[in-house]
Amino acid sequence: MSVRKNISDLIPEEIEAELALLGEKKFRAAQIFSAIHARGAGSFEDIVLLPKALRQKLSDSFEIKNFKESKITSSEKYNTRKFLFELERDPKIRIETVLISEKGRNTVCVSTQAGCNVGCEFCATGKLGFRMNLSAGEICSQVYEVRRQTGVEITNIVYMGMGEPFLNYANVLKSLLMLTNADGLALPGKRITVSTVGFKGKIKKFADDLTSPGNERIGNVKLALSLHSTDNGLRESIIPTSKLNRLPDLYKELTYYYRRTGNKVTYEYIHFPGINDSENDVKRLTALSSMIPSNINIIPFHPIGFQLSKPLDKLNDSFSDTKKLLSNQKLNDLIASLKNNKVVVNLRTSSGVDINAACGQLALAGENL
């Protein structure tokens, strides 16, 4: 039996080409894409706009396959819900997605990989290892499933869940084209942020791809760099890939990204009390923030249920006291010093920390992948 292609992974132009091979009219591609990406059709039978014979023909060659089941955990304290999805193509593989509802926004934090092999010291996903890349359709379907299961209108998407987006680059780029497609969810590009720890050559490629002809609708997709330290030595000890992807090279590419797209850059900065909040850190962050238009998101460090190694081991004792970590005076001092230096700085809330849904905490409730 031949393997049926997952039609959710195809953009309208690719569906058109497949229809041509089947001897069908091209205009059906937009109808099929729209049924899956705007209305969340889960089978060809759901696409009643198509003639019955075409539905049958399509189901002989294609399938619509994304997630099988999900478990939802809701935070009592924050308006945050965490979804555990099981991949239909392999039920042993599960991923997590988070919905954060605050200040009139419904933001979905999507995963791009099942697990991650970057191995950041502060991240629970990194401790689980890598299993597989998600397809473009699986990345998008997290958004559609969250919308279907909660009934909320999604206003923003951040690529900050499990996995490193730039290590699944082609599928991430394709998913951006799908999510912004006028026949699909039609989310404006400026409401989407892709976050990366940074790889040489990839930021530049991202800027080139966002601005290439035909990709205008994703030209204003935002980029966030998971910075966490401006000291390359410290950064290397907490983000292993930064040994080969040094900050001066990343800064050059961020400047290129800004010049090419005109989009501001966000720096994500987890505050590790007593480790990355010295006067020198403030000076370097201040200098960095004047390099190109940018803002710095300070994120309180969240316990991840794993013992940390040097230099973060100093924080191991704090695990029992989440409240203390989140209301740390050093956090307030860091923000005040940066504001004093006219740096655009925001404190990211710890939405979902009580259900292990906050930044760095996604680990399938500590289960193996």
Q: How far is the CB of 292 from ligand SF4 (least distance, A)?
A: 23
CA distance 167 to 117: 9
Token pair of 309 as six digits: 């190694």
Q: Is the peptide bond before 165 cis (omega within 30 degrees of 0)?
A: no
Name the residue number minimizing CB distance to ligand SF4: 126
Residue of 131, 133, 78, 149 whose CA lies nearest to 348: 78
Of the candidate residues 84, 95, 110, 123, the single one contacting ligand SF4 (CB under 6 A): 123
Judged by CB under 6 A, does residue 141 bind ligand SF4?
A: no
Q: How far is the CB of 363 from ligand SF4 (least distance, A)?
A: 10
**What is the DSSP annotation of 243-291?**
GTS-HHHHHHHHHHHHHHH---EEEEEEE-TTTS-SHHHHHHHHHHHTT
Q: How far is the CB of 88 from ligand SF4 (least distance, A)?
A: 23
* Residue among 62 and 130 whose Cβ is closer to ligand SF4: 130
User: Is 86 assigned a catalytic role?
Assistant: no
Q: How many residues bind ligand SF4 (CB under 6 A)?
A: 11
Is the Cα torsion angle 17, 22, 23, 28 positive or negative in sign? negative
Tokens 């889960």 map to which residue? 42
Q: How far is the CB of 190 from ligand SF4 (least distance, A)?
A: 23
CA dihedral in degrees (332, 337, 340, 345; nearest 10)? -60
User: Is 96 assigned a catalytic role?
Assistant: yes
- Per CB under 6 A, which region of 4-12, 22-30, 115-123, 303-311 contacts ligand SF4? 115-123
Of the candidate residues 9, 16, 145, 164, the single one contacting ligand SF4 (CB under 6 A): 164
CA distances from 141 to 111, 219, 279 (A): 11, 22, 44
- Per CB under 6 A, which region of 29-37, 43-51, 121-129, 280-288 contacts ligand SF4? 121-129
Judged by CB under 6 A, does residue 126 bind ligand SF4?
A: yes
What's the DSSP call for residue 351?
T
* Residue among 36 and 118 whose Cβ is closer to ligand SF4: 118
Among positions 185-244, residues that touch ligand SF4 (CB under 6 A) are 197
CA distance 287 to 269: 15
Residues with a known catalytic role: 96, 359
Binding site for ligand SF4 (CB under 6 A): 116, 118-120, 123, 125-126, 162-164, 197
